[in-house]
Structure 1
Amino acid sequence: MTPAESQAAATLAESLLARFGDPVSSEFLETAPFLGGELPESVARAIRAFRYGDATDALVISGLPVTAGPTPPHWNHPDAQAPHMADFWLALIMAQLGDAVSWSSLQGGQLVNNILPIQKQENLQTGHSSDVVLDLHIEDAFSNLRCDHLGLISLRNDDMIPTTAVGISSIDVTGPEYAPLFEPRYVIHPDDEHLRNLREAGVNEGELLAAPTAVLSGSPQAPDVRLDPPYMSALPGDVEADRALQLLIMELSANVEDVALAPGEILIVDNHRALHGRKPFTARYDGTDRWLRRLTTVKDLRRSRVARSEASSRIIDPVLEPLPASLELTGAGR
């Protein structure tokens, strides 16, 4: 944004905070899709091109001036739950792409999630790790009800730690070596954060195995992708499918771009066409660590009604089709 647009964006975000108070209130979420005309024209134009075009898998919007207090030690800390003007800016932009949703198994069913390092979770494959590479993945790839778009806004990133991103459009998957990826020869599990919270809720892990799925779908010239390497595997004994999977991961990894989000910058990812991750860093746990907010949206809220307790709810309960016992995997993604 230009300096004038940045100031207008900050004024707009502050006015929304004052008017609505809570970025996940029904009043704001139902109003936000109709407030697109208040966005700076350059932002509105970029969002339209991103939503309706076919040339961009991810989008960065820069320019919102943001200051934040110390990075909280945990997502459930009161300071991590307090509404911020950046939440309204993120939610307003994401509302132009769809309706906000989240999961009952993530951060207590909060719609706006916190991405920050948490002690004793340094080595997990979740947004709360730090010591390890967060592998490239599609958000909630295990579920047919996964989001269509993912938005991340930076509140603090003093060390400019990169989010990583790559679009499926960066590689050519029309060759015969990729053909197995278009067939339901893979199983994807929920990630550690979903699993931990579901176990605490008394859900039997054996009920969380998903039915076989394809990794790629649609046109080979412009496919959708469904990939979460740490939590997936080809079906047992399917060497050809595993070879195709490893080739895809290798090719995508070779085309990764780093996106180090400064405070106020938003990264929007098409969750059907682009993968994202994060490079490792050393967490200090002193209030200066990287802190992002995350919001996910779907184009068709009705599609998840079967997994929401009531029509007004935006929180989805994981619903998985059981995997036949003969195809159960051993150790995948554990």
Structure 2
Amino acid sequence: MLETSARLLSLLSLLQARRDWPGQLLAERLEISPRTVRRDVDRLRELGYPITATKGPDGGYRLDAGTELPPLLFDDEQAVALAVALQTATATGAGIAEAAARALATVRQVMPARLRRRIDALQVTAVERPGVRERPQADTEVLVVLSDAVRVREVLRFDYAAPGAEPGDGPPRRAEPHHLITWGGRWYLIAWDLDRDDWRTFRADRITPRTPNGPRFAPRALPGGDDVTAFVAGRFQGSGDGWPCHGEVILDLPASRVYPFVSDGVVEPLPATDGRERCRLVLGSWSWHGLASSLGHFDADIEVVGPPELADAFARLSRRYAGAAESFS
């Protein structure tokens, strides 16, 4: 049997789902006695919900429309979770920061005073990693369309803007949407590309959906199983079919100083050597020169673990930089 608070929420949900409920049917759905149903209805009335008794052979209940929303039934943990989620909405990349602030203010007004004090005491600031703030935000209407296509399993038709291009410059795309995810402040659609016969990850802010959707489809299994987290991590951390070049180095810096500047790499702290903190970094890039250059941004001693192509790129860059320094002198 459900606890009282959970049972009240279930009862309220049932009353909102249809106009009239026989008392016996409510008791059966909640697996409680008709007497407990009557007591729970009285509790909801005390909270301000306008529930009236209906006449008939079995008798029943009806949730009438009210002019004001009564206090919401949140426990302490739910109130804290809601406050944190709405206050950190700026980091989702969905462009809903202002709407989230209004939602938090609205919900706060209809909460009991005790929970309002808990929310007011919990002030959270979402600090984004460097570069995230300048990233394009996904349109909320597009996110709704993508999410709905994932839910109903319909082929998605859309225009996709490649870097430096506009939507519609190329032929429309067709894909079977699998998951809508957020990663590093951006939204992505994981889908099976029907024209390329392979899995693809599309940035949501570059998608312009076309209507109507295509036919329904049977969902495919992701490579390596149905672990979305593992699939996405592989795509963005340079393993599998992700970055064409990925390497591993040891930096003469503590992991805490490296992690904030690595949005799609793996940082692992290493035991201190001679009092110096070091870390292992696995990172991907479109080219070996690009990877070597990005690693040089940390301004620290670097030990290349592998592969040889990364060491060769460091050697070529060192000769190029040395030549630039000599030309100046």
- TM bucket (normalised to shorter chain) is under 0.3
Structure number with greater CO (CA < 8 Å, separation at least 6) is: 1
- Which structure shows the bigger proportion of residues in helix conformation? 2
Q: Give the TM-score of the pair, scaled to structure 2.
A: 0.24
